[in-house]
Amino acid sequence: MDTIKASKLLKELKGSKFLPYYNEELIKDLKKDIKGHCDSFIKIISEPEDEIDSKQDKYQKYMTNIKTLQLIIYRYKRIILAYLSKRMDIIEQYFWEFGQNLPKEYKEFLHPDEKQYTENYRSLIVNYSKNMTQNYPDVNFDLTKDLEPPHDTFIEVRVLQDCGEILTSYGETIKLSKDTQHYVKRQEVEHLILQGYLKPIES
């Protein structure tokens, strides 16, 4: 496999508006190639020194082969790490955009390990918020809400999709049916706005 084909991993991410499917087949091919190059590297450096030093041209060829294999191995590893790192960045971005519950249509594109990473990341944020709330009970430390400073505590929203019912902090039950409008406390519906179920109505 050449490095142009290996670079396809990064081009997939760059050319996609949303996170593409995890390319497990190409990752496996790259790992297989890395192992093959490592085996070749070990075989070359295991040659007896007296045979290598016998002729200058043979020594130059020996060093060229070693450096070439090193460059190929390092490049493949950098491509894989860059691919995985970029996917993790996008997954974390999704968390802040959509709240704690990642939409099902986005989860389908994740590798099982990435789904576990998402859950671990969510747990980390939730546990941090809980610990801070226990230490400072008068302050709301839900980091997934109000990612930008709200202009108003209460906002008017239009329901784009049926969301069922929510119970407000005042004990009132509000049924969020499609095409209805409601005047609600922003932090109580922030997660639904982030997920695209509600749309703030500009005054």
The tens digit of pLDDT for each residue in 9-39 reads 888 887 776 788 898 898 998 889 889 988 8
- Looking at residue 172, its pLDDT comes to 78
101 lies in some domain: yes
Question: Are residues 84 and 34 both part of a single domain?
Answer: yes
pTM of the model: 0.64
111 lies in some domain: yes
Q: Phi/psi of residue 165, each to 5°?
A: -115, 150
Question: Are residues 19 and 102 both part of a single domain?
Answer: yes
Question: Are residues 112 and 195 both part of a single domain?
Answer: no
Mean pLDDT of the chain: 81
Q: Phi/psi of residue 180, each to 5°?
A: -95, 160
- Between 44 and 50, name the one with better pLDDT: 44
141 lies in some domain: no
Question: Are residues 27 and 94 both part of a single domain?
Answer: yes
Question: Are residues 26 and 97 both part of a single domain?
Answer: yes
Question: Are residues 26 and 89 both part of a single domain?
Answer: yes
112 lies in some domain: yes
195 lies in some domain: yes
Considering the chain, what percentage of its residues have pLDDT values greater than 70? 83
Question: Are residues 52 and 117 both part of a single domain?
Answer: yes
Q: Which residues have a Cβ under 8 Å from the Cβ of 39 and sit 6 or more positions away?
A: none
Q: What is the crossing angle of helices 24-45 and 56-98, to 10°?
A: 150
| Cα distances (Å, whole numbers) of residue 144 to 14, 77, 122 | 27, 34, 10
pLDDT tens profile 166-196: 887 766 788 999 999 998 888 788 888 888 8
- Looking at residue 150, its pLDDT comes to 53
Structural domain range at position 65: 3-127
Question: Are residues 113 and 194 both part of a single domain?
Answer: no
Mean pLDDT to the nearest integer, 69-74: 89
Q: How far apart are CA 104 and CA 96, in angstroms?
A: 16
Count the domains in the chain: 2
pLDDT of residue 52 exceeding 60, the answer is no
158 lies in some domain: yes
Burial (Cβ within 10 Å: 0-12, 13-18, ≥19) of residue 87: buried
The CATH code of the domain that includes 88 is 1.20.58.1030
Question: Are residues 15 and 111 both part of a single domain?
Answer: yes
